[in-house]
Amino acid sequence: MGERMQAAAGCLTAAVGAGAGLAVWSVDVRGRLWRFEQSPDWSVLYAELPLMVLGGVAVSLGLWAVLRRLRPRR
């Protein structure tokens, strides 16, 4: 695989990981943001959202690197 193809695969993997992190974060976000009879919990937006997106990117790139290591070279 050429260098450009590897770079494109890495960028695509990071984008998919960010999307997966965002999808996992968005599950029941309304319930976490608005607690019963309480004010909004803004840490859901400024703490949880970036951590989930970065976590998704890190996990996907880590998995991509492991799969690249395990795949035999040609």
- Alpha-carbon distances, residue 68 vs 8, 9, 10, 50, 55 (angstroms): 14, 11, 11, 27, 20
Instruction: Return the structure tokens found at 26.
Output: 């968005």
pTM > 0.75: yes
Q: Please, what is the average pLDDT of the chain?
A: 87
Which amino acid appears at position 30 of this protein?
R
Looking at residue 20, its pLDDT comes to: 95
**54 Cβ contact partners less than 8 Å away, ≥ 6 residues apart:** 21
Whether the per-residue pLDDT at 21 is higher than 90: the answer is: yes
pLDDT digits (tens, 9 = 90+) for 34-45: 776 678 888 888
pLDDT digits (tens, 9 = 90+) for 51-69: 999 999 999 999 998 988 8
Higher pLDDT, 6 or 19: 19
